[in-house]
Structure 1
Amino acid sequence: MKIFGAMYDKTMEWSKHRFAAFWLSFVSFIEAIFFPIPPDVMLIPMSMSAPKRALRLALYTALASTLGGMIGYAIGYYAFDLVQIYILKLGYQAHWQQAIEWFKAWGVLVVFVAGFSPIPYKVFTIAAGVMQMAFLPFVLTAFISRAARFLLVAKLAAWGGERFAAKLRKSIEYIGWGVVVLAVVAYFILR
């Protein structure tokens, strides 16, 4: 069954849309608060299809993610009791505990690590508010971390460019089904 090729083609088509940068920024913003899909899913194809815009797109992504992180911080600081149930329902309890332990041990440095961590970024933004971390160091560290990550991702994708996009398209079915298999295996192992 070939479904990933069509999804790949559609994603590459959307990455060239005139409002793609807006949607990339929007996804980056909401991902730092509640959205489960990281902006890399949009940044990579956009950077491959427009390598000259990759660094600008990474900057948009970092700025929007930092602004979203500020909202996540405010939620943790002012309204954690209202959203705590959702952390449990969404299955972030283990990630939450890990983030809190890291904040206790390393303070603001955790925000820098969070920009590269596989733990969802929203967990760290809300945890920073709950831990009442100093706001300005949080914002500065969040921006530096997110900018470093997204600049790296965008630059690597732009470096590959259209050539890499074409090679990736040839293997996308194998990659897609491989990810599905790994996700199922991880689900059963981590349960």
Structure 2
Amino acid sequence: MLRKLYTWTLALAARKAAAWWLAVIAFVESSFFLVPADVLFIPMVLARPKRAYLYATIATIASVLGGFMGWTIGHYAFEAIAKPVLTFYGKLDTFESLASAVDWKTMLLLLVTSGLAHLPPIKVVTILSGVANFNLGLFIVSAIVARGARFFALAWLINTFGEDMRHFIEKRLKLISALAAAALIGVYAVYMLKH
């Protein structure tokens, strides 16, 4: 199923309405969809490098709005909507273990790592933010910074290095994401030890 979803999402990049599809995928990825917007974003930037930063802007705005939807679902409709979605994707256990150990600093760290590197999955963190009643203003600012950094960095890398960078990213995306998340967690651990 995941492979079919990936292939379908990738095929959207060739359509005339690709920018609209990018907005839709980035929006739903942040609240309930399984395939990351990168699958559509990367081929679009490769096909039209002059629009790289426009696509990054579209993806960032849509992703932040989708994150707000995830926060709203977690805050107002966890039992009715979020719990079945998390159960469907097999993420309910991850969610419950995170929910039991979260404070505002941890929540902020999770928002940054999921926004930059999808660790843990962003849909889990946006819903968790709502359940934990995480400050909405701080949520939106962190989402703009983290998601914007991800999409604009990808736009710059692909626009600068082209196909070679696409192959590098596709082959090592999980490793790059894990290293970025580990670095952020390391910075957070050092901060906590000093305070």
TM bucket (normalised to shorter chain) is 0.7 to 0.9
Task: Determine if contact 1:103/1:128 at 8 Å carries over to the other structure.
Answer: no
Task: Determine if contact 1:48/1:160 at 8 Å carries over to the other structure.
Answer: no
Residue 126 of structure 2 is matched in structure 1 by 125
Task: Determine if contact 1:103/1:110 at 8 Å carries over to the other structure.
Answer: no
Residue 106 of structure 2 is matched in structure 1 by 106
Residue 22 of structure 1 is matched in structure 2 by 20
Structure 1: gaps of 5 or more residues: 1-6, 176-191
Rounded to whole Å, the distance in 1 between the matches of 2:59 and 2:102 is 24
Residue 181 of structure 2 is matched in structure 1 by none
Query: 1:55: how far off?
Result: 1.4
Rounded to whole Å, the distance in 2 between the matches of 1:147 and 1:98 is 28
Query: 1:102: how far off?
Result: 6.2
From the CA coordinates, give the structure whose radius of gyration is larger. 1
Higher relative contact order (CA 8 A, sep 6+): 1
The root-mean-square deviation of aligned C-alpha atoms, in Å, is: 2.9
Is 1:49 paired with 2:47?
Answer: yes
SS of alignment partner, residue 95 of structure 2: helix
Rounded to whole Å, the distance in 2 between the matches of 1:22 and 1:51 is 17
Task: Determine if contact 1:28/1:68 at 8 Å carries over to the other structure.
Answer: yes
Residue 150 of structure 1 is matched in structure 2 by 151
| TM-score (ref. length: structure 2) | 0.72
| TM-score (ref. length: structure 1) | 0.73
Residue 134 of structure 1 is matched in structure 2 by 135
Query: 1:98: how far off?
Result: 4.9
Rounded to whole Å, the distance in 1 between the matches of 2:160 and 2:123 is 29
Query: 1:72: how far off?
Result: 0.6
Query: 1:92: how far off?
Result: 0.4
SS of alignment partner, residue 103 of structure 1: coil
Residue 69 of structure 1 is matched in structure 2 by 67
Residue 84 of structure 2 is matched in structure 1 by 85
Rounded to whole Å, the distance in 1 between the matches of 2:155 and 2:96 is 31
Structure 2: gaps of 5 or more residues: 1-6, 172-195
SS of alignment partner, residue 77 of structure 2: helix
Is 1:36 paired with 2:37?
Answer: no
Query: 1:118: how far off?
Result: 3.3
Query: 1:158: how far off?
Result: 1.9
Cα 1:113/1:102, change in 2 over 3 Å: farther
Task: Determine if contact 2:113/2:119 at 8 Å carries over to the other structure.
Answer: no
Detail structure 1 runs of 4+ shifted over 4 Å in the superposition.
Answer: none
1:9-67, CA deviations, whole angstroms, 9 ceiling, x for partnerless residues?
A: x947x535331111001110011111111000001111111111111111110110000
Rounded to whole Å, the distance in 2 between the matches of 1:117 and 1:24 is 17
Task: Determine if contact 1:45/1:157 at 8 Å carries over to the other structure.
Answer: no
Rounded to whole Å, the distance in 2 between the matches of 1:157 and 1:143 is 21
